[in-house]
Amino acid sequence: MSDPRYSVVGSTYALEPKQRALIELVESLGPRFAERAERYDREASFPHENYADLRQAGLLGLCVPEKFGGRGADLRTYSIVSATLGKYCGATALTYNMHACSMLWPGALSDDLDMTPAQRAEHDKHRAIHYQRVIRDGAIYAQPFSEGSAAAAGRAPFGTTATRVSGGWSINGKKIFASLSGAAHYYGVLCTEAKPELSMRDTLYMAVPGNAHGLSVVGDWDPLGMRGTVSRTLVFKDVFVPDEAQMMPRGIYFQAASRWPHMFTTLSPTYMGIAIAACEFTVRYLRGEVEGTPPVKRRMYPTKQIAVAQLWVKLEQTRCLFLRMLEDARVDPPKDARLRAYAAQFTIMENANDLCRLAIRTCGGQSMLKALPLERLYRDSRCGSLMLPWTAELCLDRIGREALYEPGESDD
Ligand SMILES: Cc1cc2nc3c(=O)[nH]c(=O)nc-3n(C[C@H](O)[C@H](O)[C@H](O)COP(=O)(O)OP(=O)(O)OC[C@H]3O[C@@H](n4cnc5c(N)ncnc54)[C@H](O)[C@@H]3O)c2cc1C
């Protein structure tokens, strides 16, 4: 086990043996991932080697239910594992989120939702196919939802449409910021069933093979941070997928989004990990323990001690809220838990970037050279509060509205 001060849960948090083993497994892979992170960032290239390691370690099946041959991790276990990954390579953790949640949402989350017996049977048949691809073939799934409209914010139907055709569906549209573009074997696309009037209730969740006829990856990828996610644009032109491509039955994604709100907190563990990494770096740097740096021992200055204390307080505030949010996660959470989930997401995303900013200010100029990880952590952390549907702005928007209004209330 790494130094418990820099573990996601600390040394006294109650963990099941399975969770402890998973954390240790990721900690054992972490140093290799950290070593490769600089190259993926510089090249803006996908972390293929890390995925080979994740596959080998059986972690592609983390959120595949045990009855389908996976490790059966729930949202809480996934989040702790993902945050641990985030300490070592933000881009790997963020893309792993897309894959792992493609397994979790049709798995443990869907088991909590209402389905007719026919829907449940159909879902079991379809998800067995998706899970087999991952467990048997090592397939990777992506989650391209964003379109540059109000859809990814959960405020409008997706403009990408699925039209019923014989034996399946024909998909047309465009997805922006598709992490794992060109690397995923399947893209789990949210689209709207093509009807005269598009409705969010008709959202379909379809796995499109990476080599499907009519699917193309376009545009370049040269962003500020999270460069290894390779989040380019996908264009779908009359892409045929069979019925079994459905990752959730018709109408069930809409139900999940309304009844399992913590499903949208799953991007935050990556940034929790980055926050921890920035604090760990700062302490080690000031103690003169960072390899490749001159012996800059600055810890005797009161200003440094105060700055580290400020970092520590903010880190613990963030980590406590993160762990509390995970305890709240369930279907139909009470209103206080829902509000806390928004507050936790806001706090983690904003504090991760603020901690990196403080870390650079505290360590000084040499710490932001590209040979060290801190400037990358800073750039990667900037992306957290931009991730839809729960951007920092939209979390505030939801807290303000939902704290002041009960469902159905208005001022008219
Ligand atoms: C590194 C990275 C990886 C990503 N990977 C993925 C991925 O794999 N899959 C995926 O689906 N997306 C992904 N995204 C996209 C991300 O979730 C957002 O969709 C994207 O950042 C939105 O950018 P935009 O300029 O289109 O924002 P806009 O839609 O223009 O929104 C800008 C801001 O306005 C606010 N806003 C938006 N809509 C509303 C509204 N209706 N009401 C009030 N305020 C609103 C929000 O705060 C938002 O941040 C990724 C983004 C990044 C940076």
Question: For the segment 306-360, what is each residue's pLDDT rounded down to a tens digit?
Answer: 999 999 999 999 999 999 999 999 999 999 999 999 999 999 999 999 999 999 9
Whole-number mean pLDDT of the chain?
A: 96
Torsion sign over Cα 234, 238, 242, 247: positive
Q: Is the pLDDT of residue 296 over 80?
A: no
Task: Take residue 37 and report the two structure tokens written for it.
Answer: 């992170």
Q: What's the gap in Å between 235 CA and the centre of ligand 1?
A: 18
Q: Is residue 144 lining ligand 1, measured as CB closer than 6 Å? A: yes
Question: Which atom number of ligand 1 is nearest to the Cα of residue 91?
Answer: 1
> Residue with the nearest Cα to atom 43 of ligand 1?
394
Q: Is residue 388 lining ligand 1, measured as CB closer than 6 Å? A: yes
> Residue with the nearest Cα to atom 25 of ligand 1?
148
- What torsion, rounded to 10 degrees, do the Cα atoms 26, 343, 156, 112 define? 60
pLDDT in tens, 152-194: 888 899 999 999 999 999 999 999 999 999 999 999 999 999 9
Q: What's the gap in Å between 90 CA and the centre of ligand 1?
A: 18
Q: Is the pLDDT of residue 294 over 90?
A: no
Q: Is residue 351 lining ligand 1, measured as CB closer than 6 Å? A: no
pLDDT in tens, 40-63: 999 999 999 999 999 999 999 999
pLDDT in tens, 66-123: 999 999 999 999 999 999 999 999 999 999 999 999 999 999 999 999 999 999 999 9
Residue to substitute in 175, 387, 390, 397 for testing ligand 1 pocket (most ligand atoms within 8 angstroms of CB): 387
Count of Cβ atoms closer than 10 Å to residue 317 Cβ? 12
d(CA 258, CA 221): 33
Q: What's the gap in Å between 389 CA and the centre of ligand 1?
A: 7
